[in-house]
Amino acid sequence: MPTPKEDDNGAAWARWYQKQEQLREQCLAVASGKAPLETVPAPCLAALETHRNVMGRVLAATHAETGGLPSGANSLNRSDSLQSGGMGAIARVVHLAALEVWELLSRGHPVEAMNTCLDALALSRELALGGGLYGSKLSAQSQEIVYPSCAAALDAVPLGRKREALEQLSRLQRGFPPPSRLLREESVFLQLRTFGPDFLPLEALSRLPPAAKTLVHGGGGWFFFTSRVGHPLVRRYIWRRNVSLFDQMMAVADLPPDERQRAFARIDADHALLADYPGAVSARTFHRELAHLEPQHLRAVALATLVQVDITRTEQGRWPTTLPADATGLFSLQLVSAQEARLVPLNTEAAENTLSVTADER
């Protein structure tokens, strides 16, 4: 759909943006397995064809010995709200890769599809390495997109390749940063953005890396307002309050979710003074942010469990009676037939992460 001209009225632009959003949703529906490949709009396939070489190079970068985001795309380089480039661009590569996996499977290339899906999972994980909470949420969202196609590819590959994939999935699962590290990055970002312009001494400012200096001197938006409202001594107190709150959150952030929620509630109670003041942070808010990342762990366990169950079924000629330790308490294995089983989350709120496993020929 052609872009409206500069002199077109607002209604024309509104219709254009609406069409673009509808197209984006249709593309994501197919990429995430919510709609069949046959329904993919032509512009989605055209975008995949146009960007396939670039996508391949980006996915290949995940084979490096050291992971993490490229320079200029980490947590200090995010915008105040939505980011059109950097981490957002990496997430879109994952979306294209998910569509590529379905394409490869439809053409009878399961091994190539699985290789692409593993690279896409690795790329989605990279968003969490140095991306703070913003990058981790993008990581979880992009992993959710590629999850169904990756499960289909893992189910379809031969036994030998399944064993290799299992080790790759285990390495990916171990590579996610813990919540405490994410909160540390968030603490640095908020301190620099909200209070750095007023309270960091010139000597400290001069030693900051370029991205941090840009963050401090960027100004504008909500952070500009919160850093300058009220008495300077009260703002300084809010800064120190936030630092103390983050330090206490980081100490308990890696607890199981229920325990973390209770611990964070106690932290908020200890920091109730001026809790509603502009710029003051809340532990409960960060618990909710971290809770959005929990399905990412569940999906990582599910993919590895799918492969393990499939290997056991092929080697022993029957479905296993117990699940691996990582999956115990998270999933049940429901037998559909001698040839098919379903890996079902025990938490009914996570039912959309159910996976089907098809028995391989022995």
pLDDT greater at residue 146 or residue 175: 146
pLDDT in tens, 147-198: 999 999 999 999 889 999 999 999 888 888 999 999 999 998 888 888 877 7
pLDDT in tens, 98-120: 999 999 999 999 999 999 999 99
pLDDT in tens, 257-282: 999 999 999 999 999 999 998 889 99
pLDDT greater at residue 84 or residue 38: 38
* Phi–psi pair at 355, nearest 5 degrees: -125, 145
Residue 3's pLDDT band (cuts 50, 70, 90): low
Distance from C-alpha of 28 to C-alpha of 26, rounded to nearest angstrom: 5
- The pLDDT value given to residue 121: 95
Round to the nearest angstrom and report the end-to-end CA distance of the chain. 50
Mean pLDDT of the 19-44 span: 90
- The pLDDT value given to residue 71: 64
pLDDT in tens, 52-77: 999 999 999 888 766 667 666 666 66
- The pLDDT value given to residue 79: 53
Mean of pLDDT over the chain: 87
- Look at residue 84 and tell me whether its pLDDT is greater than 50: no
Share of the chain above pLDDT 70, in %: 87
Residue 81's pLDDT band (cuts 50, 70, 90): very low
Share of the chain above pLDDT 90, in %: 59
